[in-house]
Amino acid sequence: MVTLTSQAQIVAEKRYFQKNDAGTPIEDADELFRRVANAVAVPERNYGKLDVEIKMVSNEFFQMMSALDFIPNSPTLMNAGTNQGTLSACFVLPLEDSMEGIMKAATDSAMVQKFGGGTGFALSKLRPKGDRIKTTHGISCGPIEVLKTLSRVSSMITQGGKRDGANMAVMDVHHPDILEFIDCKKVEGEIHNFNISVGVSDNFMKSVVSGTHFPLINPRTNAIVGELDARDVFNKIINGAWRNGEPGMVFLDTINKDNHVSEQFGDMIATNPCGEQPLLPNESCNLGSINLANFVETKPDSANWKTGVNWNRLGAVVRSSTRFLDNVIDANEYATHDIEIMTKSTRKIGLGIMGFADLLTQLRIGYHTKLGREVGGEIMGFIKDVADSESKTLSDERGVFPAWGKSDYASSETQFRNACRITVAPTGTISMLADTSSGVEPLFALAWRKTNILEGETLHYINKYFEKDAKKHEFYSEELMEHIYEGGSIQGRPDVPQWVKDVYVTSDEISSEAHVLMQSAFQKSCDSGISKTINFPNSATIEDVYAAYMIAWQSKCKGITVYRSGSRVKEVLVKVETPKSGDALDITTYDYLENLVDAPFLTKGESTQLDTCCGSPFIVEEGGCSSCKACGWSKCHVS
DSSP 463-529: -HHHHHHHHHTT---HHHHHHHHTT--STT-TTS-HHHHHHS-BGGGS-HHHHHHHHHHHHTT-SS-
**Whole-number percent of the chain with pLDDT over 70:** 86
Query: pTM to 2 decimals?
Result: 0.88
Q: Any catalytic annotation for residue 285?
A: no
Q: Exactly one of 272, 282, 332, 452 is catalytic; name it.
A: 272
DSSP 244-294: HS--EEEEHHHHHTT-TTHHHH----EE-TTSS-EE-TT-EEEEEEEEGGG
Work out the number of other CB atoms within 10 angstroms of the CB of residue 192: 12
- Span 94-119, average pLDDT: 91
Has residue 226 been placed in a domain? yes
H or E stretch at 357: helix 356-362
Which of 221, 254, 271 represents a domain boundary (last residue)?
Answer: 271
Are 349 and 421 in contact, with CB atoms under 8 Å apart? yes
Task: Verify that 382 and 473 share a domain, yes or no.
Answer: no
Q: Please report the pLDDT score of residue 569 as a whole number.
A: 62
Q: Please report the pLDDT score of residue 619 as a whole number.
A: 43
605 confidence band (pLDDT: 50, 70, 90): very low
Task: Verify that 240 and 362 share a domain, yes or no.
Answer: no
Has residue 559 been placed in a domain? yes
Q: Please report the pLDDT score of residue 256 as a whole number.
A: 97
Cβ neighbours for 325, distance < 8 A, ≥ 6 positions apart: 72, 286, 287, 288, 349, 350, 351, 418
Q: Please report the pLDDT score of residue 546 as a whole number.
A: 94
Has residue 421 been placed in a domain? yes
Residue 624 pLDDT greater than 80, yes or no? no
Question: How does pLDDT run across 580-600, given as a tens digit for each residue?
Answer: 333 322 222 222 222 222 222
Has residue 437 been placed in a domain? no
Has residue 606 been placed in a domain? yes
Q: Please report the pLDDT score of residue 570 as a whole number.
A: 58
Distance CA 73, CA 425 (A): 9
Which of 234, 251, 271 represents a domain boundary (last residue)?
Answer: 271
Among 72, 142, 85, 83, which Cα is nearest to 113's? 85
Task: Verify that 79 and 104 share a domain, yes or no.
Answer: no
Task: Verify that 79 and 40 share a domain, yes or no.
Answer: yes
Has residue 434 been placed in a domain? no
Q: Exactly one of 44, 60, 184, 274 is catalytic; name it.
A: 274
Q: Cα separations (Å) of 337 from 111, 165, 285, 310, 510?
A: 12, 21, 15, 42, 46
Listed range (64-73, 117-126, 130-139, 598-607) with the worst mean pLDDT: 598-607
Task: Verify that 321 and 347 share a domain, yes or no.
Answer: yes
**Average pLDDT score over the chain:** 87
Task: Verify that 120 and 78 share a domain, yes or no.
Answer: no
For residue 627, the cross-strand partners are 619, 634
72 confidence band (pLDDT: 50, 70, 90): very high
Task: Verify that 80 and 116 share a domain, yes or no.
Answer: no
Q: Exactly one of 44, 60, 276, 571 is catalytic; name it.
A: 276
Q: Any catalytic annotation for residue 614?
A: no
Range of the domain at 322: 6-86+277-429
Question: How does pLDDT run across 433-466, given as a tens digit for each residue?
Answer: 999 999 999 998 898 776 653 455 677 788 999 9
Which of 271, 288, 307 represents a domain boundary (last residue)?
Answer: 271
Has residue 435 been placed in a domain? no
Q: Any catalytic annotation for residue 274?
A: yes
Q: Which residue has the higher pLDDT, 161 or 343?
A: 343
Question: How does pLDDT run across 281-300, given as a tens digit for each residue?
Answer: 999 999 999 999 999 998 88
Task: Verify that 58 and 109 share a domain, yes or no.
Answer: no
Instruction: Report the half-sphere exposure of 165 (CA within 13 A, side-chain side).
Output: 27
Using the 8-state DSSP alphabet, how is residue 530 labeled? B
**149-153, 397-401, 411-415: range with highest mean pLDDT:** 397-401
Residue 47 pLDDT greater than 70, yes or no? yes
Domain count, the chain: 3
Has residue 119 been placed in a domain? yes
Task: Verify that 385 and 475 share a domain, yes or no.
Answer: no
Listed range (21-30, 194-203, 474-483, 505-514) with the worst mean pLDDT: 505-514
Residue 149 pLDDT greater than 70, yes or no? yes
Residue 610 pLDDT greater than 70, yes or no? no
Question: How does pLDDT run across 357-380, given as a tens digit for each residue?
Answer: 999 999 999 999 999 999 999 999
CATH code of 261's domain: 3.20.70.20
Task: Verify that 78 and 99 share a domain, yes or no.
Answer: no
Residue 615 pLDDT greater than 60, yes or no? no
Task: Verify that 539 and 577 share a domain, yes or no.
Answer: yes
Task: Verify that 161 and 254 share a domain, yes or no.
Answer: yes
Phi and psi at 449, nearest 5°, equal -125, 140
Among 126, 130, 131, which Cα is nearest to 143's? 126
137 confidence band (pLDDT: 50, 70, 90): low
Residue 41 pLDDT greater than 90, yes or no? yes
Question: How does pLDDT run across 463-497, given as a tens digit for each residue?
Answer: 999 999 999 999 999 999 989 988 889 999 999 99
206 confidence band (pLDDT: 50, 70, 90): very high
- Span 169-192, average pLDDT: 93
